[in-house]
Amino acid sequence: MSLRLLLMAARAEHRLLVRKHVEIEWPDAVIVEVPVGEEAPPGEGEPFDPDFNATGFDAAVIVAAPPLEGLAALAQALQKRPEFAPIVFIALARAPAGGAAALPGIRVIQGAKIDRAALLDALSQAARERRQALALLRGRPDYEQRYRFGAVTIRDHRCIRSIGSGGMCTIYLAESERAGRIVVLKVFNQVPDVSERIVGFDRFIQEYEIVAGLKHEHIVRIFDLGVADDHAYIAMEHFPAGDLRQRIKAPLSPATALEYLGQIASALEAIHSVGVLHRDLKPANIMLREDGSLCLIDFGLAKANALAVDLTGAREIFGTPYYMSPEQGHAELIDERSDLYSLGIIFYEMLTGQKPFKGASAMEVIYKHKRARIPALAPQFAPYKPILSRLLAKEPAARYQSARELLAAIASLTAAGAPA
């Protein structure tokens, strides 16, 4: 019997021990580990999204050390969800504590150490129960609809709902059975014709190739890329906390704005180091994780420098006018300093709550980026003026020449005790 297991535990050594026990018995087992509690790194964490049902797993294992109450409550909450995988709760305590010995509908293994025989028996029973339930589920007439994304069927991804669409993609919220989490699924609308190059398709695939190769705490995680019914799709990290555009509707302290500036600059340093420009940096493309940190997304307009001619052709303008550098707005050659200008606009907006340049049309805004002076800052923002002046210089040569140089300036300002 093969086994797909969702493994949740706060401590890495507990996850490793369960994994060893399982893989000795089932060498081909697929185990998705989910850190819970304080050890969870950015982009990871507890699968508590209300739409998560662990539909792709034979069983879910929760390992808890004293105090047990928190994870025992989690087990009870997950067990009540429709279609959730059977739960095996391992309580690493000699005597009953926190009610862990009595969890209705949940298999409990209790003791100072993990009882290997009891664990394997519980998992075997859970897997049989799960497969019987799934057999009944597959017999329902509406079963296939759960994998439908518009006209496209994508196996191993349960559709929850559509959450948006653009010229190139339709975007859905889905449960990835492979990743064991809620994901954002971007489905390419067009079917590429081998006889006719579709530039948008190239950009879509490139988005995956750019981001998947970068493991950075402030860059979106990519979980899957595939083709279904001749439509490409990407499964990526979901951000229920929303984006920076929503966050800055409420005032930010200067200290928070400076911290956010550093996080975005760190992400830009990572993508620039592999020769990639974002080209559409704006608050809507900067997401918030639930721990409050920021994450850069949406590389649909990003391009590797070497692919500029293939993907964009001559003198095409991509981006959002409010955040567009002067050279980008005039279809001139751009480099990483263009992204830094866009970041400067965002920093100005984070500090003041206003965009520096506005207009009745996109062309008026583009003109102001090129010709208008930066609006004067209120006195309380004076310590940040040197950074803003460099970021928003009209000529790229007068800006910071790299994200690393910007990060050094941020570190110096922080060390000097910039006002909060």
pLDDT tens readout for residues 223-261 = 998 889 989 899 999 999 999 999 999 989 999 999 999
Query: What residues are paired with 4 via a beta bridge?
Result: 30
pLDDT surpassing 50 at residue 200: yes
| CA terminus-to-terminus distance, the chain | 59
Give CA–CA dist 201/85, Å, rounded.
37
Strands 148-149 and 107-110: unpaired
pLDDT in tens, 207-232: 677 788 888 999 999 999 888 998 98
Mean pLDDT value across residues 86-96:
87
| Phi-psi domain of 315 (left: phi exceeds 0; alpha: psi -120 through 50; beta: other) | left
Mean pLDDT value across residues 393-419:
94
Strands 87-91 and 59-64: parallel
List, by residue number, the catalytic residues: 280
Give CA–CA dist 293/219, Å, rounded.
11
Mean pLDDT value across residues 80-84:
90
pLDDT in tens, 276-294: 899 999 999 999 998 899 9
Q: Supply angle C-alpha 265, 271, 275, rounded to 5.
A: 130
What confidence score (pLDDT) does residue 307 get?
A: 40
Mean pLDDT value across residues 28-35:
91
Q: Where in the chain is the domain with CATH 1.10.510.10?
A: 244-415
Q: CA separation (Å) from 111 to 57, 104, 116, 189, 359?
A: 25, 19, 11, 53, 68
Q: Where in the chain is the domain with CATH 3.30.200.20?
A: 144-237
Query: What residues are paired with 152 via a beta bridge?
Result: 149
What confidence score (pLDDT) does residue 195 get?
A: 45
Share of the chain above pLDDT 70, in %: 86
Task: State residue 42 phi and psi, 5-degree precision.
Answer: -55, 135
Question: Rounded to 5, what percent of the chain is helix, strand, coil?
Answer: 40, 20, 40
pLDDT surpassing 70 at residue 344: yes
Confidence of residue 166 (pLDDT cuts 50, 70, 90): confident
Strands 231-237 and 286-288: unpaired
Mean pLDDT value across residues 74-78:
91
pLDDT surpassing 70 at residue 125: yes
Buried b (16+ CB within 10 A) or exposed e, 175-195: bbbbbbbbbbbbbbbeebeee
CA atoms within 13 A on the CB side of 274: 16
Give CA–CA dist 86/350, Å, rounded.
46
What confidence score (pLDDT) does residue 309 get?
A: 36
What confidence score (pLDDT) does residue 314 get?
A: 42
pLDDT in tens, 292-303: 999 999 876 666
pTM, 2 dp:
0.84
Give CA–CA dist 154/190, Å, rounded.
15
Q: What's the mean pLDDT when you consider all of the chain?
A: 88
Confidence of residue 206 (pLDDT cuts 50, 70, 90): confident
What confidence score (pLDDT) does residue 47 get?
A: 56
Superfamily of domain 144-237: Phosphorylase Kinase; domain 1 (3.30.200.20)
CA atoms within 13 A on the CB side of 301: 17
In the three-class reduction of DSSP (H, G, I as helix; E, B as strand; rest coil), residue 389 is classed as: helix
What confidence score (pLDDT) does residue 315 get?
A: 46
Structure token digits, residue 279? 């080209």
Q: Where in the chain is the domain with CATH 3.40.50.2300?
A: 4-138
Share of the chain above pLDDT 90, in %: 66
Q: Does domain 244-415 have CATH number 3.40.50.1220?
A: no
Superfamily of domain 4-138: Response regulator (3.40.50.2300)
Mean pLDDT value across residues 24-38:
87
Mean pLDDT value across residues 196-215:
70
Structure token digits, residue 377? 């800052």
Residue with tokens 């049309």: 361
Q: If you write DSSP's letter for every residue of 158-222 in order, what string do you get?
A: EEEEEEEE-SSEEEEEEEETTTTEEEEEEEESSPPBTTB--HHHHHHHHHHHHHHT---TTB--E
E-strand stretches of 238-376: 276-277, 286-288, 294-296, 303-304
What sign for the dihedral angle of Cα 16, 21, 24, 25? negative
What confidence score (pLDDT) does residue 46 get?
A: 52
Higher pLDDT, 39 or 282: 282
Give CA–CA dist 263/243, Å, rounded.
14
What confidence score (pLDDT) does residue 306 get?
A: 41
**Under a CB-based contact definition with an 8 Å cutoff, are residues 26 and 147 in contact?**
no
Give CA–CA dist 399/395, Å, rounded.
7
CA atoms within 13 A on the CB side of 164: 6
Lowest mean pLDDT among 51-65, 96-110, 148-162, 303-317: 303-317
What confidence score (pLDDT) does residue 178 get?
A: 82
Which among 378, 390, 398, 416 has a CA at the least distance from the CA of 265?
390
Confidence of residue 310 (pLDDT cuts 50, 70, 90): very low
